[in-house]
Amino acid sequence: MDKTKIDEATTLDAAEVAEAAVSNAAPKTEDLFDSTDAVRSGKPLAHVKTMTFPGPISLTNGGTLPEITVAYETYGQLSPQEDNAILIFHALSGDSHVAKHDENDDPGWWDALVGPGKGIDTNRYFVICANVLGGCRGTTGPDSINPETGRKYGMDFPSISVADIVDVQHKLVAALGIDRLLAIVGGSLGGLMALDWGTRYPDGVAGVAAIATGPRMTTQALAFDVVARNAIMSDPHFCGGQYYDKETGPATGLAIARMLGHITYLSQESMNRKFNADRNVGRKIDTSFETKFSVGSYLAYQGDKFVDRFDANSYLTLTLALDAFDLGSDRERLIAAMRRSMCRWLFVSFTSDWLFPGYHSRELVDAAIAGDKRVSYCEVKSDAGHDGFLLEDEISRYGELLRSFLHDLSLEWRPEDDERRRSLNESYGAPPKSPKRRVDYDRILALIPPKTKILDLGCGKGDLLARLKARGHERLVGVEMQEKYVVKCAEKGLDVVQLDLNEGLKSFLDHQFDFVVLSKTLQTIRNVEALLEEMLRVGTRVIVSFPNVGHRRFRERLAEGRAPSTDPKRRWYDSDDARFLTIADFEEFCAEKGYKIFRKVALDAETGETVETDENLNADVAIVVLGR
Amino acid sequence: MDKTKIDEATTLDAAEVAEAAVSNAAPKTEDLFDSTDAVRSGKPLAHVKTMTFPGPISLTNGGTLPEITVAYETYGQLSPQEDNAILIFHALSGDSHVAKHDENDDPGWWDALVGPGKGIDTNRYFVICANVLGGCRGTTGPDSINPETGRKYGMDFPSISVADIVDVQHKLVAALGIDRLLAIVGGSLGGLMALDWGTRYPDGVAGVAAIATGPRMTTQALAFDVVARNAIMSDPHFCGGQYYDKETGPATGLAIARMLGHITYLSQESMNRKFNADRNVGRKIDTSFETKFSVGSYLAYQGDKFVDRFDANSYLTLTLALDAFDLGSDRERLIAAMRRSMCRWLFVSFTSDWLFPGYHSRELVDAAIAGDKRVSYCEVKSDAGHDGFLLEDEISRYGELLRSFLHDLSLEWRPEDDERRRSLNESYGAPPKSPKRRVDYDRILALIPPKTKILDLGCGKGDLLARLKARGHERLVGVEMQEKYVVKCAEKGLDVVQLDLNEGLKSFLDHQFDFVVLSKTLQTIRNVEALLEEMLRVGTRVIVSFPNVGHRRFRERLAEGRAPSTDPKRRWYDSDDARFLTIADFEEFCAEKGYKIFRKVALDAETGETVETDENLNADVAIVVLGR
């Protein structure tokens, strides 16, 4: 395999990944144009293996391939029980070299995530990564020799789908003797592949992490791909795809396609940060493209460099597969697709990613929830755009989520094997600290019958859910707005989705849960009426706990001329509270709305005792069970 | 002038403008591909006039032009006093045909805004619109004949700047006998031109409205232009720009540039809305480009159509001028530029515009404020992207702002001429209703010495500011978060900027105002500490009024077990209030922060009387004057 063909990461080259990870500041001029070759060792990649599957192999769109060769790399050891295999899917222009194999090896495109002790810990897991079908980095693609003709396929390479790409990976995994993967992890195009495997080979994987991806391309992203393909195919050197025996291929068209791609991988913020300081200072580089502005010379450099290592026909083949992918064109179809899956799901998006925006990941989350699948979701705050999924800073956060997700999948592999669980936990490190005792949690737990399905809104670090989990509830979902708490929940092996409660509960179906809990969060909600309506739609019963401003302490305080503050650590000007209510106020509200109060527990938070007389005066916390 | 050259609006063609305005729903298939020619009458445009300026004319970048011809159209009548002339600047691919001249005329690109009774009312104003220098719609550009050679300029056309483009417009206005324009209105590239005129010909215009624009292109937008130019210039038919005598020009490159442009003019939301329902249904059209997806065939159609009416060299010339424009590369330089202006400013941006995003307009607003210029700003909620500024729905909102702005400019033209003011007001329509009396306003007015500079935060409909204006204060600025209230303020002739107070007051300089007022808004603010710090930075004195929860009415209510609600129309669950405080709480807060209380007025809102004894118990509104 030609070394020069595997010299770059998925969308950033390795040099840029390293550079972007080290500093968010504007890079030095020379860094912008650092060649990967200067970073790489120059040795041929020693760890790429190949496997060839004889054909004819039928494809989704009706074509066939006479044979398929797959280039792949593996990391770590497959356990004797074959319960630790993780398959990683790369993005559009990536390859099998996901990580370096040792200190002297060339950098991999996901080194920050994959390796000994990393988020995907190769000391614990057996990691496989293969170049995709249709690519040009070792696996059969348009620039491979067609054994039937002895010539390169070129445009004769059949049209392929994401499903075809995944089928080849499935063949590889089977050939490696693995029946069921512990997990699949993929980003961007790799995320689409992960979705495809999870919904088409449901018994083949325990957990799927789909990162920076979506159910389909946005129309905007699709439109960029169309323009990129038009640039390639209208290049006069394209010659209908049979340019391999010509002196020049469609280098101009491919470079323009790559320039366009680069813009979509970055965010407006990161581009301004990188290029604004010296926007009018073009760099002198050897190119036929415009170099007037700093960003222009950067694009010219990236465009030209890409031509050296990527094949235009692969670009066409893979983007067409990408653009045609649609897990479900509307909500119903998307739910149907997710229903077919049997794995746990983890979705991660990035706030500034506009190629695969967060709302697209949320469509997947919503469909998984509606399909009653176990799912977690985190939107990582980042200004790096789509490339965020490759950068160290972002990986330092979502990598922990992934680490917990993988560990929990391992624990669940054979839950009956206590010895195995104990040993996995011991080697994993310190368990999460035991939660602080909260008086309302004890009472809420007592109000919830065993085995019921619970949705906990504003679940924080997941303390209540952890106690419910320990009690044996199987269907538990948390909703939390803060990224850091989502990570904490994952550490406890909980399913939690990052959503803003003020945007409602449209992720959830009618009566999907037995109980919907909102504990000590009501007082921070802007949209109280809408949220309670939503809770009563989603849950058969609703449990709300809130601080009672009617408590004698607050009455006395106001009588002395000072406003009550229900959070002892906060004051009127810095409290998270936005709503002040008494038990009487809440009862009146329920009466007006026609909500039935089935139970009411009034507590003295200091003593932890139930208050029996004059609750509105003597209780500082109220717990109410509502229904229609 | 060739009719086919003026057949389309700036970025949408007229058919699409009409279509997009009629419905936000997905358009019918045939609408997507409606040809402008089907809409236009077929008659040649009868109203284009030309004027030729002899040369040699020197240009910013060192070149010269032997002569310049300008194509322009005018609407309405210039008043004898020459005090009603408005110059409109078009966008990149626009032309002089801003509006139709009569019912039988071809549609103009801004018909929804310009015409009899419209936002820019041609019954009142004399409107001028000229094709830009470097364009290809009648004004001298690369496809004009160079009188010195008898051949078209092609790439010999000199490099021009936005300033050169504006200078030509300035010549035209002078030649029409107009010394000073009432207003300049421009969007997109036209907005950059408006900025240029306002800062370089300060005495030439009374008011400038710069719409969907910014101090410079974002790096991302610049990068798209670079890719577009690379597509054109690497087209083998480009022939170094001398393609006019060839059979074919760089049609492929120009079409690709236009496709790319179209993507940036729309938003992700609007593209999804338009193309998602039938994304895989390509249309059969006569094109060499990919038509596989609905959006692809749309882009192919738009690309091909553009080639028929636009010149590739003009595209290069104008985008290079656009990309090189920078009113000031950092805040200091931007402030210096705005300081040179002597006009009133109106900035309008659109929430989903990512080509000229709102934060760029805010940089201009901030610089204008820092330069002590009169400025208003509105961010129109829209999902139409950059094209929003051309659409009827968006125009129905910002058009009213513009109408008020223009009327107020007219009133201020000769403020001493009472008869003229009276007559202008009478013909303008009903004056805004007189404000509701608010007891705290009377008191706040009494606390403010004459002639002082006032910043009113959360100014609502501008009632307090209107009373201060009537009292003769000259430097008055309002800040308001809601679009609809910004429009109300404009109706009163006030300067108001749309900002979220929770994001601080970074628009304003230290001690820029004598008084910063926050009337009955404190209780809705999340970030109280930061905002008060900011107010004390920006103002010498701060005036805060707030409802006092310590009032006996609230104490009695809580004593009865019900939470106080300071807004009589709202309840605990739907109030805008997020902060509850008493006068004593606020005094304690000020003492802790080291803020000096210079005056305190405690009011009984019912009687309107000052409370003299036990204010914290007897007053329901407090007004406090603070300083350091």
Q: Are B455 and B477 in contact (CB under 8 A)?
A: yes
Clarify whether residues B560 and B503 are in a common domain.
Answer: yes
**Amino acid, single-letter form, for residue B289:** F
Instruction: Calculate how close chain A gets to B320, using CA atoms only, in Å.
Output: 10
Q: How far is CA A238 from CA A301, B80, B541, B570, in A?
A: 21, 64, 70, 68
Tokens 């229609």 identify what position? A628
pLDDT at A3 (0 to 100):
32
Residue B256 is nearest to which of A230, A236, A266, comparing CB atoms?
A230
Residue B582 is nearest to which of A216, A320, A563, comparing CB atoms?
A563
Give residue-wise pLDDT tens across range B422-461.
999 998 887 767 666 777 899 999 999 999 999 999 999 9
CB pairs under 8 A between A and B: 207
Which of B:315-334 have CB within 8 Å of A?
A: 320, 323-324, 326, 329
pLDDT at B245 (0 to 100):
92
B422 within a domain of the structure (yes/no): no
Clarify whether residues B436 and B407 are in a common domain.
Answer: no
Residue B271 is nearest to which of A220, A357, A571, comparing CB atoms?
A220
A52 within a domain of the structure (yes/no): no
Determine the Cα–Cα distance for residues B451 and B253; give it in Å rounded to an integer.
Answer: 60
Of the listed ranges A404-413, B23-32, B563-572, the one predicted with least confidence? B23-32
Q: Are the beta carbons of B324 and A280 separated by less than 8 Å?
A: yes
Give yes or no for residue B543 having a pLDDT over 70: yes
Give yes or no for residue A45 having a pLDDT over 80: no
Nearest CA to B47 among B70, B75, B68, B69? B75
Give residue-wise pLDDT tens across range A281-296.
988 899 999 999 999 9
Determine the Cα–Cα distance for residues A404 and A494; give it in Å rounded to an integer.
Answer: 10
Give me the number of domains chain A comprises: 1
> Would you say the ipTM is above 0.95?
no
Q: Locate B489 and state its tokens.
A: 């303020």
Q: Last residue of a domain, which of B413, B440, B461?
A: B413
Clarify whether residues B339 and B366 are in a common domain.
Answer: yes
- Using DSSP's 3-state secondary structure scheme, residue B338 falls into helix
B357 within a domain of the structure (yes/no): yes
Q: Last residue of a domain, which of B413, B442, B461?
A: B413
Which residues, at least 6 apart from A478, have a Cβ–Cβ distance to it below 8 Å? A455, A456, A459, A462, A465, A489, A494, A495, A496, A497
Say how many CA atoms lie within 13 Å of A168 toward its Cβ: 36
Q: Last residue of a domain, which of B413, B448, B471?
A: B413
Which CATH number do you get for residue A535?
3.40.50.150
pLDDT at B45 (0 to 100):
64
Determine the Cα–Cα distance for residues A381 and A487; give it in Å rounded to an integer.
Answer: 13
Clarify whether residues B608 and B513 are in a common domain.
Answer: yes
Clarify whether residues B406 and B436 are in a common domain.
Answer: no
- Which residues on neighbouring strands pair with residue A151, listed in sequence order? A146
Residues in chain A with CB shorter than 8 Å from the CB of B288 are 234
Clarify whether residues B451 and B498 are in a common domain.
Answer: yes
Q: Where are the alpha helices (DSSP H) in B160-276?
A: 162-175, 189-200, 219-233, 251-265, 268-275
> Is residue A285 within 8 angstroms of chain B, CB to CB?
no
Q: Where are the alpha helices (DSSP H) in B560-618?
A: 583-593, 615-618
Domain that holds residue B213: 49-219+330-413
Q: Are the beta carbons of A357 and B299 separated by less than 8 Å?
A: no
Determine the Cα–Cα distance for residues A120 and A130; give it in Å rounded to an integer.
Answer: 16
Q: Is B386 a catalytic residue?
A: yes
B309 within a domain of the structure (yes/no): no
B253 within a domain of the structure (yes/no): no
Q: Which region, left, alpha or beta, applies to residue B475 given φ > 0 means left and ψ of -120 to 50 means alpha?
A: beta
Clarify whether residues B436 and B408 are in a common domain.
Answer: no
Clarify whether residues B143 and B215 are in a common domain.
Answer: yes
Give yes or no for residue A16 having a pLDDT over 60: no
Q: Are the beta carbons of A555 and B558 separated by less than 8 Å?
A: yes
Clarify whether residues B384 and B496 are in a common domain.
Answer: no
Clarify whether residues B455 and B400 are in a common domain.
Answer: no
Which CATH number do you get for residue B356?
3.40.50.1820
pLDDT at A503 (0 to 100):
87
Q: Locate A109 and state its tokens.
A: 């495109």
Kindly state the helix (H) or strand (E) to which residue B598 belongs, with its residue range: strand B596-604
Write out the catalytic residue numbers of A.
188, 353, 386
Determine the Cα–Cα distance for residues A244 and A181; give it in Å rounded to an integer.
Answer: 38
> Is residue A293 within 8 angstroms of chain B, CB to CB?
yes
Give residue-wise pLDDT tens across range B155-173.
899 999 999 999 999 999 9
Give residue-wise pLDDT tens across range A450-500.
999 999 999 999 999 999 999 999 899 999 999 999 999 999 999 999 999
Give residue-wise pLDDT tens across range B457-488.
999 999 999 999 999 998 999 999 999 999 99
Averaged over B32-47, what is the pLDDT? 43
Q: Is A28 exposed, middle or buried (0-12, 13-18, 19+ CB in 10 A)?
A: exposed
Q: Is B353 a catalytic residue?
A: yes
**Amino acid, single-letter form, for residue A63:** G
Give residue-wise pLDDT tens across range A297-327.
999 999 999 999 999 999 999 999 999 999 9
Determine the Cα–Cα distance for residues A532 and B507; give it in Å rounded to an integer.
Answer: 39
B493 within a domain of the structure (yes/no): yes
Q: Locate B95 and state its tokens.
A: 């032309």
Torsion of CA A304, A306, A307, A312, to 10 degrees: -140
Clarify whether residues B494 and B354 are in a common domain.
Answer: no
B242 within a domain of the structure (yes/no): no
**Average pLDDT score over chain A:** 91
Clarify whether residues B378 and B405 are in a common domain.
Answer: yes
Give yes or no for residue B39 having a pLDDT over 90: no
DSSP states along A152-198: E-GGGSPP--HHHHHHHHHHHHHHTT-SSEEEEEEETHHHHHHHHHH
Q: Are B8 and B14 in contact (CB under 8 A)?
A: yes
Give residue-wise pLDDT tens across range B379-426.
999 999 999 999 999 999 999 999 999 999 999 999 899 999 999 999
> Is residue B561 within 8 angstroms of chain A, CB to CB?
yes
Nearest CA to A466 among A497, A443, A495, A494? A494
Give residue-wise pLDDT tens across range A95-139.
999 999 999 999 999 999 999 999 999 999 999 999 999 999 999
Determine the Cα–Cα distance for residues B339 and B370; give it in Å rounded to an integer.
Answer: 8
- Which residues on neighbouring strands pair with residue B185, listed in sequence order? B88, B209
Averaged over B71-87, what is the pLDDT? 97
pLDDT at A30 (0 to 100):
41
Give yes or no for residue A14 having a pLDDT over 80: no
- pTM (2 decimals)? 0.92
Residue B234 is nearest to which of A274, A288, A580, comparing CB atoms?
A288
Most A CBs within 10 Å: which of B32, B216, B222, as the mutation test of the A interface?
A: B222
Q: How far is CA B364 from CA A158, A160, A275, B212, in A?
A: 53, 50, 20, 12
A350 within a domain of the structure (yes/no): no
Determine the Cα–Cα distance for residues A99 and A95; give it in Å rounded to an integer.
Answer: 10
